Amino acid sequence: MTAPAATDLVAHTTRFCRVLRDEGLATTPGDTLDAARVLELVDLTDREDLRHALRGVLVHRVEDGPVFDRVFDSFWGGRPLPPSGWLQRNPPPTPPRRERAPVSLERWARGEVETEREEAQLPGPSELESLGGQDFHSYGDEALREVTRVARRIARRLATRPSRRWKPARGGARPHLRRTLRLSVKTGGEVSELAFRERKVRRTKLVVLADVSGSMDLYARLFLQFLFALQHSFARVETFVFATRLSRITDQLRARAYGDALAELSAEVRDWNGGTRIGASLERFGREWPRLVDGHTVVIVLSDGWETGDPEVLAEALSSIRRRAARVVWLNPLLGSPGYEPITRGMQAALPHIDVFAPAHDLASLGQLARHLAL
């Protein structure tokens, strides 16, 4: 490498940082500044030294390492660089869509209820006569109110979970020693007033990833109603739907009326009722919304596990989400049917990486959900 003049080098480094940003790294101007400072500290004629040094200041998580190395190699090594944003614009090929018009959403929006069962290969959960009565797919409109009630109950439970931390509180259950002593100072060390403390409320957050592919069609309508109600009674919930692509629908669900929410959704979510790429969708969720999941977050995946993509991708994505989340709950509507075994490849790949595997085929099972959500 011929050593260019110092200003050129700084400009070059700035460009390098910009390319990294284009490739999806969260490179800030502060990082660029650090990178420029680093140039003064290392031996520039040694490419590996430079790589380690720049990596130290520009890469903030191990997942970004390979991207950095690739850009570094082409940028400082003379190999041609793929056009910026290349990764994003060239996702792995998608399997062909199922030939099925995404009509049901619009029809629901107009108030038409789809009743016929089209998915002949589905294990029939309809024989079930359990606590909550009918299976979801046969529910009529009167059930919607019931779903809303269940969602409210869950929200209420989540909003009142005590945490391990304490806060001072009038009328708390336990004395707050430190405050009491502090108060006693004004009476010359005589304890005349007691201060109290109570537990803070645990700030549980929810992330819901709902499968709306063809095979989930029968359940999607009720789930959507459920998610809508949940969004309205519990502030800390983020909702995504996926079939072949992942879409964030939190904002749409915030619409005031359910009908409006549906109308907005049908306008924006295009792959409704397409095939299912659970792994790719979860992977994208982990990559693009990493900050939504933390130690106070319960991630709920609503899916029957019919994966048309690579089960390995699914396992990988799910385990990375689980590492960061407080809990991963997988709700499978098929689990409610007596003969069902989770033997699909997707479900098999997912099982080792979930904390709770529960049915979600009727109201009673949804009501049980609260138990799994309380951290």
Partner 1 sequence: MEGEGYVTDRAVATAVYLATSLGKPLLVEGHPGVGKTDIAKVLAKVLDGDLIRLQCYEGLDATTALYEWNYPKQLLHIKLDERSDRSVGQREADIFSEGFLLKRPLLQAITHHGRPPVLLIDEVDRADEEFEAFLLEVLSDFQVTIPEVGTLRAESRPAVVLTSNRSRDLSDALRRRCLYLWIDYPSLEKELRIVRTRVPGIGERLAAQLTSFMQSLRRQKLAKTPGVAESLDWAAALVALHATELDPALVQETMGCFLKDESDLRAVGARIEAGELAAMCSPAG
Asked whether position 145 contacts partner 1 by CB under 8 A, the answer is no
Q: Cβ contacts of residue 11 below 8 Å, gap of 6+?
A: none
Of 8-16, 51-59, 151-159, 262-270, which segment contacts partner 1 by CB under 8 A?
A: 51-59
Q: Which of 4, 8, 18, 52 binds partner 1 (CB under 8 A)?
A: 52
Look at residue 198 and give its three-state secondary structure.
Answer: strand
Angle made by CA atoms 23, 18, 71, in degrees to the nearest 5: 50
How many residues belong to the site for partner 1 (CB under 8 A)? 38
* 185-191, long-range: CB < 8 A, 24+ apart: none
Q: Cβ contacts of residue 205 below 8 Å, gap of 6+?
A: 236, 237, 238, 292, 294, 296, 297, 298
Site residues for partner 1, 311-340, by CB under 8 A, read: 323-324
Q: Which of 3, 5, 62, 235 binds partner 1 (CB under 8 A)?
A: 62
Distance from C-alpha of 263 to C-alpha of 276, rounded to nearest angstrom? 23
Q: Which of 15, 18, 60, 270 binds partner 1 (CB under 8 A)?
A: 60
Tell me whether residue 177 or residue 267 sits nearer to partner 1 (CB atom): 177
One character per residue 10-39, x = contact with partner 1 (rule: CB under 8 A): ----------------x-x-xx--x--xx-
Distance from C-alpha of 87 to C-alpha of 177, rounded to nearest angstrom? 57
Enumerate the H helices of the chain as residue ranges.
Answer: 6-22, 29-41, 47-58, 65-77, 86-89, 104-109, 142-159, 177-185, 217-233, 250-253, 258-268, 278-288, 311-324, 345-350, 363-373
Q: Which of 2, 3, 61, 120 binds partner 1 (CB under 8 A)?
A: 61
Q: Which of 17, 265, 293, 315 binds partner 1 (CB under 8 A)?
A: 293
What single letter denotes the amino acid at residue 104?
S
One character per residue 193-232, x = contact with partner 1 (rule: CB under 8 A): ----------------------------------------
Binding site for partner 1 (CB under 8 A): 26, 28, 30-31, 34, 37-38, 41-42, 48-49, 52-53, 55-57, 59-62, 65, 164-165, 177-178, 181, 184-185, 188-189, 290-291, 293-296, 323-324
